[in-house]
Amino acid sequence: MISPPLCEEEHLQSLIAAFVQKLPGLQTQEALRHCKSEFLGKKSQLKAQFRLLKDYQPAERTQRAELLNRIQTYFEQALKDQKDRVIQQDMETALAQEWADLSLPGTLPEYGAKHPVAELEKRSLALLRQLGFEFVDGPEVEDPYFCFDALNIPPHHPARDLQDTFWVEGHKVLRTHTTSVQARVLSEHPPLPIKVASAGRVYRNEAVDATHTAMFHQIEGFWLDQGITFAHLKGILLFLAKHLLGSQHLFRIKPKYYPYTEPSIGLDVSCTSCRGEGCDACHDNGWITLMGAGMIHRNILTQFGYNPEQVTGLAFGWGTTRIAAQWLQLSNIKSLYEQDIRLFRALKRRSL
C-alpha cells in the first residue's frame, strides 16, 4: 500500500487525514463508490483545488499542480487496493458459505419420458408395419362425405346428429374416427392389395366419464384384396392385442354393429384395473372393449368401384387412449390428458 503524500498546507493535510481515517472502514462495493465520489468526484474538495490553479502564478501553479496530482494518485490507488481486498474477502466468504465437496456424485437432472399414448401409438404402428401395413395420415377437420357418406353412414344415422359430432364453419366436421382415412385412400383407387394404417386425434361430443373423453386418440387399419376372410381379421386382432397387452390376458370376440362393416365384432380384454367391486374402468363386468372390427361393408366397396363378389376387405380400429389406460392399469382415462406431472412421474417408473 502506498503512503500518503507529505503536505505542509493545513487544508490539504486535513483532507488526506480524513481519507486515511475513512479508508479501512470501506468494506463494501457501495461504500467504496460513495468514498470515491466524496474525495474524487466533481464536487469534491480536491477538484475544487484543481479549479483554483488558474489563480496562482505560473511557477507556483506548477508546484501546486504536482502536489494535487500526487494526492489524486494516492486516493485512486488506495481505493483500488481497498476494492481488491473487498473483492477477495467477498469471494472467500462466498466460498466458505457455498463450499461443496466436488468429489461427491452429482445430482443428475430428471429425464423425461414419452407420453404413454404416444408410446403406445408408436408400438402399435410398428406392429402393423410387421404385418405389411403402410401409415397414411389424414386431416382432423374433415369433409362430411369422407367421415360419413362414403362409409355407409346415411344422414339419418345418429352419428350425424349434432349431439355426437363437433361441426365447424364451412360445413366441416371434426373427424369422429380415423376411418375417414380409409375413405380417402379408396377414393384414389390404388392397386390391390391395399394395406393402410392411420392414427391420430378424433373427436366426439359425448359425456366424459372413466372410459370416455370428448377428444381421444385412435388407430385404424384396413386390408383390401381378393380372398380376404374373417379368419384373417381374427388373426390380426389377436396378434395385435397379445403383443400390446400380453398373452397372459383373456380375450373374447363378441358381435357388434358398425355401419361400415358387416359382419362387425368387438374384441374385449379382461380388466386389469379390477380390485373388487366399484371398478370404473369395466363397470364391474370384468371386460373392456378394446377394438372394433369387421369385414368392410359391400356398400363401401361398391361406392368406390370395387366388385364385392371379387374383392373383400377387413377393417379394425382401437382407441390408443383406452389401451394405454389398461396398459398402465389406470381406472380413469382422463388421467392421461390432465397433465399432472405427479402422475407421469409415477408412470415413468412403470415398465411399459
Per-residue pLDDT of 239-258, as tens digits, reads: 998 888 777 788 899 999 88
Q: Would you say residue 350 has pLDDT above 60?
A: no
Provide CB contacts within 8 A for 345, sequence distance 6+.
none
What does the pLDDT read at residue 212?
65
Grid cell of 182 as nine digits: 380409409
pLDDT tier at 199 (50, 70, 90 boundaries)? very high
Q: Which of 157-171, 216-230, 261-275 has the highest mean pLDDT?
A: 216-230
Q: State how beta strands 194-203 and 251-258 pair.
A: unpaired
- Give the pLDDT score at 57: 82
Percent residues over pLDDT 90 in the chain? 24
Q: Which amino acid is at 280?
A: D
- For the stretch 4-30, pLDDT in tens is 676 667 777 788 888 888 888 888 888
| pLDDT at residue number 315 | 94
Residue pair 161/282 in contact (Cβ under 8 Å)? The answer is: no
The answer for residues whose C-beta is within 8 angstroms of residue 59's C-beta and 6 or more apart is none
pLDDT at position 183, please?
92
Band (pLDDT 50/70/90 cuts) for residue 348 is: low
Residues near 131 by beta carbon (within 8 Å), at least 6 away in sequence: 195, 236, 239
Q: Residues 106-129: what's their mean pLDDT?
A: 83
Phi, psi angles (nearest 5°) of residue 73: -65, -40
Provide the percentage of residues in the chain whose pLDDT is more than 70: 88
pLDDT tens profile 297-337? 999 999 899 999 999 999 999 888 877 777 777 766 777 77
Beta strands in 242-311 (DSSP E): 251-258, 261-270, 287-296
- Identify residue 281 by its one-letter amino acid code: A
- Mean predicted confidence (pLDDT) in 152-165: 75
Report which of 130, 302, 133, 310 is spatially closest to residue 222, judged by C-alpha positions: 133
pTM: 0.62
Q: Which of 14-23's residues contact partners 24+ apart within 8 Å by CB, and which partners?
A: 15/39, 15/45, 15/46, 15/71, 16/71, 16/74, 19/75, 19/78, 23/78, 23/79, 23/82
By CB atoms closer than 10 A (0-12, 13-18, 19+), residue 139 is middle
Q: How many CB atoms lie within 10 A of CB 310?
A: 10
Q: What is the pLDDT of residue 276?
A: 53
pLDDT in tens, 47-97: 887 888 788 888 788 887 888 888 888 888 888 888 888 889 888 888 888
pLDDT at 223: 95
Confidence at residue 279, expressed as pLDDT on a 0 to 100 scale: 64
> What Cα–Cα distance (Å) separates residue 255 from each residue in 19, 181, 258, 262, 294?
99, 24, 10, 10, 9
| Whole-number Å distance between alpha carbons of 198 and 312 | 20
Question: CA 245 to CA 252: how far, in whole Å?
Answer: 14
Lowest mean pLDDT among 135-139, 208-212, 234-238, 295-299: 208-212
Give the whole-angstrom CA distance, residue 150 versus residue 184: 9
**Average pLDDT for the chain:** 83
Of the pLDDT bands very low, low, confident and very high (cuts 50, 70, 90), residue 209 is low
Q: What is the mean pLDDT of residues 130-159?
A: 88
Q: What is the mean pLDDT of residues 37-48?
A: 82
How far apart CA 96 and CA 105 sit, in angstroms, is 20
Of how many residues is the chain composed?
Answer: 352
Residue with cell 377393417: 315
The sheet that has 167-168: what strands, in order across it?
A: 141-142, 172-174, 167-168
295 vs 161, more confident: 295
Q: Is 52 exposed, middle or buried (0-12, 13-18, 19+ CB in 10 A)?
A: exposed
pLDDT at 206 over 90: no
Q: Where are the beta strands (DSSP E) in 179-286?
A: 194-203, 215-225, 251-258, 261-270
